[in-house]
Amino acid sequence: MSGRRIFARPARLAAIAPYVWMVLFFLVPFGFVLKISLSQTAIAQPPYEPVFDLTAGWEALRAAFAALSLDNFRLLASDDIYVFAYVRSLTVAVTATALLLLVGYPIAYGMARLPTRWQAVAMVLVIVPFWTSFLIRIYAWINILQHDGLLNQILLALHLVSQPVVWLSTDSAMYIGIVYSYLPFMILPLYATLAKMEPVLEEAASDLGAPPWQVFWLVTFPLSLPGVGAGVLLCFIPIVGEFVIPDLLAGSNSLMIGQTLWLEFFTNKDWPVASAAAIVLLVVLLVPLLLYERLQRRQLEQGR
Amino acid sequence: MRKLSRLSRFNIASLALGLAFLYLPILILVIYSFNASRLVTVWGGWSLRWYHEFFGDRAMIEAAWMSLRVAASSATIATLLGTLAAVALSRGERFRGRTLFSGMLYAPLVMPEVITGLSLLLLFVALNAERGFWTVTIAHTTLTMCFVAVVVQSRLGSLDRSLEEAAMDLGCNPVRAFVAVTLPLIAPAIVAGWMLAFTLSLDDLVIASFTTGPGSATLPIRIYSEVRLGVKPEINAICTLVIALIAVVIVIASLASKLSSSQGESAAPL
Amino acid sequence: MTDELPRTDVTADTVGAGALPAAGEPLLRIEGVAKTFGTFRAVNGVSLDIMAGEFFALLGPSGCGKTTLLRMLAGFEAPDEGRILLGGKDIAQALPHERPINMMFQNYALFPHLTVRDNIAFGLKRARLARADIATRVAEMVALVKLEGLEKRKPDQLSGGQRQRVALARALARRPQLLLLDEPLAALDKKLRESTQGELMELQRRLGMTFIIVTHDQEEAMTMASRIGVMRDGKLAQVASPRELYEAPRSRWIAEFVGDINLFDGESKLRDGHRLVIGTRDAGALVVDEPREPVGAGKFAVAIRPEKVKLSRRGPVSEAGHETAINRLDGVIADICYLGGTTTYKVKLDAGGTVQASVANSARLDVNAYSVNQHVVAWFTPDDCVVLPS
């Protein structure tokens, strides 16, 4: 244990640079968000009243504390736009995650059943699209889904529809985009648990008289639950805060929270309200974030 | 044969459909980038017209150059810092502030990008920093060093600790043992971390939008504003170029790792 | 190929450089060394002297502290208490790279990114030897462990036995004053392990070096070591030659840990000159030689190795006839276990207990073999017994 201790001292020194960096560019900015979410909007540049001004001394500091207000949070709670945005973010995330699970599970299951040599190939094939740009992948779908795009052309040619269907700016387009973009995040953890599973277990189940669907439902699926959990959290968390996909593919009549935040910030220039919205978003995500953290730590410990 | 029999028809169908779903949109995009017609959906024969258009578009070229510079520099800084962080976490045992450190390191992994972007912008405004290349680079470094740290840390965790002890036993002090033994063995993970950081930076729209200033847009920001106005064939060409660039990076990296692992084999008279 | 390595240190920066012990002084002296991990006392006050040129084995079950002790010698752990003197100099707090001690790791810990040659040269480069000297020394080592022709291979292109040799060559290359071997043969299969044992012993004798080996395999320790330290719960239970350990174990635990043994619990009844009579519950009264350290009255265990127990159909006639104090136990064969070289018989005694007898199969056609349920007499002499405190 302490041969490691000899190593530990210089290893700890390695923490200094990244530590300072993260405090400077993660922790401190985060304090700023908190602080500005509690201050008043002002028509100025930057568009908020500074909350602390340490040069002004102790009295000013007390005055500044007195000026802190929860007004922005009250606004968020009372204005329907924000409440709707949070509710919509959560419903979209739940629906999209369920869709991802439905689409991703059969693919991961198929991968895990491939001969070992082919499993590696399949894995690379699933990961490679993830390396191509996120934006490009959304853009590819705009190409296909637009009014005279490929999908409508095919549907018309097959006489499935008599006139072009409106795809863009609908929820279906958004769901297609989300499922497309997040699919690898769902497949990989699922595949990891399914591939680790002993094939003997399924054989034992069928030997004991279970028909294939029961083998799946009573043995395979329960054993893959850790992977399901990881995949669900890995998709759910970022989808709640998603901005680009709903912005480009969904209609503009109902916004997700990421879009509202963006709008407050860039269009309305209301930085305090945007900051407050960010804080609320984070609070909403706290439970899944903590769940995810626990799951990851457990996996790390198991890996050891 | 026995292994194959585990594959049901359903398995094969879902795999085929899944891969088609993943690849067809990209394939269509690439094909249409060579379309001669201005109408995106009408096939007008093969042509490189839109590539010419792109290379004539100064603003686009500048944005692409900015993106490449940001990606290369932020990936390099992030790889350095992320590797150091991974070493500290996997070899530093317990130290004061470790929990805070690992918390800060992993938070950006799951934090919505809008929040990361917003918070960094507020910092830069408060510091009165001029927004542009450096602010985006700093923002991307903060985001991507977490990914590098995860990749490198998992490699360090799976490394046999007795290798480092053997090096010390054979006369290395801890730092030399790290350089002579640990570093060469985790090099593939470091390279993979750099590549991941590079592509993440090249890809990012949200954080860059928050942290960049007027006149220094990155490629995703440009593409995004063009796409919002409607589909343009030139965008197809740009996207195809980006895909090609990433493909080349991946191929080079995998060739390099294959080469380094087969060096010994070719010398051995097996 | 050199048969003898001059025992000079290659490193100028090592603590014990040139400090060889005077005649009669131990090379290594461990004094009251203790190490605690959290609340677990892994090593609990161990003192031990090791002479130059010894092949010493630390033997014990897993978790007994033997590996921790070895790691303290190598410098990977610092003792909480006690001193470790090498050639008279305390090295307890010195870092691993400052000690003229090298270690062969359990799984060899060969650097996977380096060739055989570079693995062997690794420690020499750290000692800042001249390039030509390194080349000579590596060639010497390669010849010593018979790895000629494999210098350019990487560890993953070697067999288990070849890897073991590389690890040995790498640890020997710096010509350490002391070589530590942590379960060096555990990863090899049985046949290879036996031949390698012989080679290691030969090498140690030829180089005149001091080896300390850690093992959980008592046969391995007995075969190779000139002295064995048995560890239990962080303490040295007994330090003795293999023969003494086997024939005169100091405690019941050691007797059971090293080899097979029959144990009969009982109380001493009478003393007859240098003989004791001990009444046992399972085998009746047994006559034994009084141990070297005289014992008083009380509870004892009589221990007897299975190969010292003889079997007869009617009882020992020849040897036992004129010896009245012989131990004769009547019983029935309960179980027979044929092991090739020997056969082990389990005899259910009329007195209640069971005794194991191991009989050499000295003839191919065993006309005298016993069969189950056959009545036999198991007998042994008083000096075959060991009396152990209960």
Quote the pLDDT of residue C314.
65
Q: What angle do CA C95, C100, C106 make, to 5 degrees?
A: 80
- The answer, yes or no, to whether residue C19 has pLDDT greater than 60, is no
Give residue A69's pLDDT: 72
Residue B123 has pLDDT above 60, yes or no: yes
- Sign of the Cα torsion B168, B170, B176, B179 reads negative
Closest CA to B162 of A13, C106, C191, A77: C106
Smallest CA–CA distance from C72 into chain A, residue:
A3
pLDDT at residue C179 in the model: 95
Instruction: Please tell me if residue A2 touches chain C, with a CB cutoff of 8 Å.
Output: yes
**Bridge partners for C182 per DSSP:** C214
- d(CA A257, CA C158) in angstroms, rounded, equals 59
Q: List the single residue in C with minimal CA-CA distance to B168.
A: C97
Residue C339 phi, psi dihedral angles, 5° rounding? -115, 10
Q: Among A225, A232, A222, which residue's Cα sits nearest to residue A98?
A: A232
- Residues 6+ away with beta carbon under 8 Å from B45: B35, B36, B37
* Interchain contact C334–A (C-beta under 8 A): no
In chain A, what residues touch C78 (CB-CB under 8 Å)?
2
> CA-CA distances (angstroms) from residue B154 to A147, B83, B148, C310, C388?
47, 11, 10, 61, 53
Question: What's the pLDDT band for B160 if we cut at 50, 70, 90?
Answer: confident
**Mean pLDDT in residue range B159-179:** 90
pLDDT digits (tens, 9 = 90+) for A241-277: 888 899 888 877 778 888 888 888 888 888 888 888 8
Report the C-alpha gap between C102 and C68 in whole angstroms: 15
- C→B contacts (Cβ < 8 Å), by residue, are 11, 13, 74-76, 95-97, 101-103, 105-107, 109-113, 115, 122-123, 126-127, 152-154, 156-157, 170-171, 174
Query: With 50 as the cut, is the pLDDT of residue B105 above it?
Result: yes
Distance from CA of B208 to the nearest CA of A (A): 13
According to the model, what pLDDT value does residue C84 have? 95
Does residue C255 come out as left (phi exceeding 0), alpha (psi in the -120 to 50 range) or beta?
A: alpha
User: Does the domain spanning C260-389 belong to CATH 2.40.50.100?
Assistant: yes
- Stretch (H or E) spanning B172: none
Does A3 reach chain C within 8 Å, measured CB to CB?
yes
pLDDT digits (tens, 9 = 90+) for B44-76: 778 888 888 888 888 888 999 999 999 999 999
Long-range contacts of C12-15 (CB under 8 A, 24+ apart): C12/C127, C13/B171, C13/C98, C13/C127, C14/C98, C14/C99, C14/C100, C15/C86, C15/C89, C15/C91, C15/C94, C15/C98, C15/C99, C15/C100
Q: Locate the DSSP E strands across chain C.
A: 28-37, 40-50, 55-59, 81-86, 89-90, 101-104, 178-182, 210-215, 227-232, 235-240, 262-272, 275-280, 284-289, 299-304, 310-312, 327-338, 342-349, 354-360, 375-380, 386-389
CB-based contact, C40 to chain A, within 8 Å? no
Q: What is the ipTM of this complex?
A: 0.85
Q: Which residues contact C235 (CB under 8 A, 6 or more apart)?
A: C44, C45, C46, C65
pLDDT reported for residue A62: 63
| Res C122: pLDDT | 93
Crossing angle for the helix pair A116-131 and B9-32, nearest 10 degrees?
30
Q: Which fold would CATH assign to domain C28-100+174-247? A: Rossmann fold (3.40.50)
Give yes or no for residue A179 having a pLDDT over 70.
yes
To the nearest whole number, what is the mean pLDDT of chain C?
86
- Please name the member of A14, A136, A293 whose beta carbon is closest to the beta carbon of B88: A14
Cβ contacts of A257 within 8 Å, gap of 6 or more:
A82, A85, A86, A88, A89, A240, A241, A277, A280, A281
Rounded Cα distance, A184 and A186, in Å: 5
**Chain B residues within 8 A of A205 when measuring between CB atoms:** none
All residues at 6 or more sequence positions from C287 whose CB lies less than 8 Å from its CB, including other chains = C272, C275, C276, C277, C325, C326, C327, C382
Do C28-100+174-247 and C260-389 agree at the fold level?
no
Burial C165-177 (b: 16+ CB within 10 A, else e): bbbbbbbbbbbbb
Kindly give the pairing relationship between strand C342-349 and strand C354-360: antiparallel
Quick one: pLDDT at residue C101? 93
- Which chains pack against B, by 3+ Cβ pairs within 8 A? A, C
pLDDT at C11 over 50: no
pLDDT, tens digit (0-9, with 9 covering 90-100), for A83-127: 888 889 999 999 999 999 999 999 999 999 888 888 888 888 888
Contact B25, A143 (CB under 8 A): yes
Question: CA-nearest residue of chain A to B175?
Answer: A10
pLDDT at A137 over 50: yes
> Chain A closest CA to C50's CA: distance in Å?
24
Tokens of C51: 């002479």
Where in chain C are the domains?
28-100+174-247, 260-389
How close is the nearest chain B Cα to the Cα of C109, in Å? 5
Backbone φ, ψ for residue A146 (5° rounding): -65, 170
Interface of B with A in 101-140 (CB under 8 A): 101, 104-108, 110-115, 118-120, 122-123, 125-126, 138-139
CA of C330 vs chain B CAs: smallest distance (Å): 56
CATH fold of A75-303: MetI-like fold (1.10.3720)
The alpha-carbon gap from C150 to the nearest alpha carbon of chain B, in Å, equals 8
CA-nearest of C53, C28, C57 to C224 is C57
Could you tell me the CA-to-CA distances from B142 to A185, B74, B116, B218, C20 in Å, in that order? Answer: 22, 9, 9, 17, 56
**Residue C163: both structure tokens together:** 């890897």
Q: Which of C248, C246, C250, C226 is nearest to C238 (CA)?
A: C250
Closest residue in B to C11 (Cα) is: B171
Q: Helix A116-131 to helix A171-196 angle, to the nearest 10 degrees?
A: 150
Rounded distance between C-alpha atoms, residue A135 and residue B224, angstroms: 8
Alpha-carbon distance values, C374 to B59, C331, C378 (Å): 104, 8, 12
Q: How many CB atoms lie within 10 A of CB A70?
A: 12
User: Which of 77-106 (B) contact A at CB < 8 A?
Assistant: 80-82, 84-85, 87-93, 95, 97, 101, 104-106
| Per-residue model confidence (pLDDT) at position A174 | 93
pLDDT of residue C324: 54
Whole-model pTM: value is: 0.81
